[in-house]
A = this chain, B = another copy of it.
Amino acid sequence: MLIQLESHPNHGATGRIRRENECRIITAAEAEFARHGYKGASIQKIAERAGLPKANIHYYFRSKLKLYAAVLAHILDMWDGLLGELDPAGDPAAEMEAYIRAKMRLTRQYPLASRIFGIEIMSGAPYLQEYFQDGYQDWFRERTAVFATWIARGEMDPVDPAHLIFLLWSSTQHYADFSCQISSALGRQGNELEQADYEQATETLLHVILKGCGLRKALD
């Protein structure tokens, strides 16, 4: 049941063909896992989507679980790289604004990744237990400490840092995970949100959350 999340197993050491095919398979797998979750996805469908025979998938990723682990690792890697951390020495308003903008950009650019991650967590994160153990609580405490610093300095309202972080996560991730419902509500064609929607969402979040933390005095 456990899963091994190596960041870069031993790619790169092997040839060009391997890298290309693994990439095609992972891309196809992301689409299937995002639609059906781990159990619901089928290797046959992934193979068809990748344009390869099924046995080829098993050649590169020895099992369904290994493939899923690779997909999750690929996602976590990408997020680690693209999402900068908050700097306690910086200005809270500027730092939070940068974070929200970065998260919304990611949300827009990689909605599948967000959904795979979301479905995995909703299902009880059975294959991410390792990820959410040990170090995770400490890592999270460091994030909250940044807000605690700002609060102690009187630079923002004494808002519970942990729940403020959850608010940042939820409100931004929602635009990837629930884009289907959102585009229906807004009456967008083909269940596809437009650039303007993301911008409007970003500005609204910035206003409410920053002002809600005491970081904006007037309307702007």
Interface set of A (CB-CB < 8 Å, partner B): 34-41, 115, 118-119, 121-125, 132-133, 136-137, 140, 157-160, 162-167, 169-171, 173-175, 177-178, 180-182, 184-187, 191, 200-201, 203-205, 207-214, 219
Contact A34 B123 (CB under 8 A): yes
Contact B40 A200 (CB under 8 A): no
Q: 9 shortest A-B CB distances, which residue pairs?
A: A39-B40, A212-B212, A208-B212, A170-B174, A40-B40, A163-B204, A132-B184, A140-B185, A37-B37
Question: How many of these chains are in the complex?
Answer: 2
Expressed in whole angstroms, the Cα–Cα distance for A175 and B182 within the complex equals 19
Contact B40 A38 (CB under 8 A): yes
Which B residues are CB-close (under 8 A) to A214?
A: 211, 219
24 contacts between A and B (CB under 8 A): A34-B122, A34-B123, A37-B37, A37-B119, A39-B40, A39-B41, A118-B177, A122-B178, A125-B180, A132-B181, A140-B185, A160-B203, A163-B201, A163-B204, A164-B204, A166-B171, A166-B175, A166-B201, A167-B205, A169-B174, A171-B171, A210-B212, A211-B214, A214-B219
Which B residues are CB-close (under 8 A) to A208?
A: 159, 164, 167, 208-209, 212-213
A190 CB, min distance to chain B CBs, angstroms: 12
Checking B173, B174, B209 against A212 with a beta-carbon cut-off of 8 angstroms, the contacting residue is B209
A131 CB, min distance to chain B CBs, angstroms: 9
Contact A124 B180 (CB under 8 A): yes
Checking B133, B167, B219 against A158 with a beta-carbon cut-off of 8 angstroms, the contacting residue is B219
